[in-house]
Amino acid sequence: MAQGARRALLAVLMVAAVIIPHFTAQPPSADKSIEKDRTNRQTAIKAGKQVATTPKWGFFGTIFHLILEQINDTKSAYNQITDQVNTQFVDDTVSARTRFFNSLFNELLHTRVVGRPSYSRSNIF
């Protein structure tokens, strides 16, 4: 019985030794990840492999990039302003029709089946 208890204890310790690191493991921090990438890049360069580098824009490339960003920002701002203006103002004929149908619908809801609602031309506009 003592050996059975020892084996059970050993099995529990082995399972705990395997499972506990999975629960306590933390993802690498940004500094560690950057350092790892830098190390991998340096070893690849030393081995003679070509490593992708960020392109250098130069003076005219930088100017072109800034102009392109300004154009995109201007388009975005124009679209946002246009959308807000279009939602603020509604065509008068559309709003008059909407008011007429809303009043018609409300009058139908609030009148009894026997009673007859009166519709006049003044209700439309």
Does this model's pTM top 0.95? My answer is: no
How many residues in the chain?
Answer: 125
Token duo for residue 16: 């705990």
| pLDDT greater at residue 25 or residue 51 | 51
Token duo for residue 21: 């690191």
DSSP, collapsed to helix, strand or coil, labels residue 113 as coil
Residue 118 pLDDT grade (very low, low, confident, very high; cuts 50, 70, 90) = low
Q: What is the pLDDT of residues 47-89, one digit of tens each?
A: 888 877 777 778 888 899 999 999 999 999 998 988 888 877 7
Q: What is the pLDDT of residues 86-114, one digit of tens each?
A: 877 766 665 676 777 777 777 766 655 44
Contact predicate 101/78, CB 8 Å: no
Q: Measured between alpha carbons, how far is 15 from 21 in angstroms, rounded to an integer?
A: 11
